[in-house]
Amino acid sequence: MTMQQRTEPSPAAILIAVAVLALVLTVAFGPLGFVIGLALFALMFAGSKNKSTVESIVPMRTRSRLRRLSTAGRIAIVGESHYQDAIAEVARNNPAPGSAGRNAGIPVTAVLMPESSGRHDDLAVRVDLLRGDGSAVTAGYLRDDHAATYHPLLLKLAERGEVGSCPARIMGQRYLGVHLHLGDARLLLLDHEALGTALTLPAEQQVGITGEEAHQHVLHRVVDGRTPVHVIAELRDCRITRGDHTGEHTLEVLLEGERIGELTYAIGQRYWDMMQEWRARTGRALCEAVIINEGTRGLHAKLLLPK
């Protein structure tokens, strides 16, 4: 997600415009016009000062491009006791979906900010939660052992103006904790993320698909000679066209908008309702997937879906 930048007139240009207006008012209305011009100048100065103050407290981290990270894992963070008010604020503005309420957690978006005190052995990763306006509040930190693993990669992202993001859930009622849906550091970056920062389904287990043999050209174009490749796929409703379940509903799998296969009838039925609910909430049913090379059997995709 790239934050939009607006071009604003410079203070010098505004001063010149106000001065010209004041001169015109003085010529037209005499002393009264001069007073009106001074009033306009004072209002402009106060507005400019207030605006500068507001901009100065907007976290710089929200002006970076959000880089989607793998969600194929779940880790807890530490230090939430120091940030209960901030976490509660985000929770109030992100009500839990469905009837499960707080027991299922409140879905939010987390960003991971690498920090360093200057010592090689003192690296930290701060966990911030995004508000609806794109600003962020601190919720805690990764554990030291996790921070040591994730910090180098996150620091590389920061050096090129990116910040890693992942889905998170606020858990609890009196005491609020935060769990991250975050993949292992070795597979953290997605090789194909053309779908931006839209939410993906929890990546908890591998699920195979069928029919890939007819779509090898699409898979080869996506992997571009490299395997395994970690990608974002989309699930969409379709009907089975052959076999014992011809005409029945299942879910087809798309990469870059092109079909690469479908779920079997049994797996499609298992995930059907979940996909409809997810699509109603987020607009699209997106999930992570890994494309692997199975030798003579060609390229195959393994979806990462909820258990």
Is the pLDDT at 142 greater than 90? The verdict is yes
In this structure, are residues 182 and 69 in contact, taking their beta carbons and an 8 Å threshold?
Answer: yes
Residue 180 is given by DSSP the state E
In this predicted structure, which of 35-39, 224-228, 251-255, 270-274 has the lowest mean pLDDT?
35-39
More confident residue, 295 or 176: 176
Residue 236 CB neighbour total at 10 angstroms: 15
pTM of the model: 0.60
In this structure, are residues 93 and 131 in contact, taking their beta carbons and an 8 Å threshold?
Answer: yes
**What are 203-249's pLDDT values in tens digits?**
888 899 999 999 999 999 988 888 888 888 999 999 999 889 999 99
Is the pLDDT at 305 greater than 60? The verdict is yes
Angle at 73 (CA atoms; ends 82, 284), nearest 5 degrees: 100
Query: What is the C-alpha to C-alpha distance for residues 93 and 203, in angstroms, rounded to an integer?
Result: 25
Query: What is the C-alpha to C-alpha distance for residues 159 and 139, in angstroms, rounded to an integer?
Result: 23
Residue 95 is given by DSSP the state P
Query: What is the C-alpha to C-alpha distance for residues 264 and 268, in angstroms, rounded to an integer?
Result: 6
Residue 138 CB neighbour total at 10 angstroms: 17
Query: Secondary structure of 52-83 in the HEC alphabet?
Result: HHHHHCCCHHHHCEEEEECCCCEEECECHHHH
DSSP codes of every residue in 272-285: HHHHHHHHHHHSSE
- Tokens standing for residue 235: 């699930």
Sequence letter at residue 157: L
Residue 23 CB neighbour total at 10 angstroms: 13
